[in-house]
């Protein structure tokens, strides 16, 4: 509990600053089991920040 209370005090004393142009995504970690990162990946994909990586065919030996 001490760590949580300390973190809450820090947030009250020094609020988080979100940089201009930052992307917003919400990941629900309140459910049982692993959290889905789909909302985050959707936001990043829409912004063009991520994409599929394809193997470089020139590096493949026959």
Report yes or no: 51 and 45 within 8 Å, Cβ to Cβ: yes
- Overall size of the chain counted in residues: 62
Would you give per-residue pLDDT tens digits along the chain (62 residues)? 799 999 999 989 998 888 999 999 999 888 888 888 999 999 999 999 988 777 666 666 65
Torsion of CA 30, 33, 34, 40, to 10 degrees: -40
């Amino acid at each position: 509990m001490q760590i949580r209370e300390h973190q809450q005090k820090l947030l009250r004393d020094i609020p988080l600053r979100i940089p201009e142009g930052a992307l917003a995504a919400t990941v629900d970690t309140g459910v049982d089991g692993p959290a889905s990162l789909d909302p985050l990946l959707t936001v990043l994909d829409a912004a063009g920040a991520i994409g599929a990586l394809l193997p470089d065919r020139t590096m493949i030996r026959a």
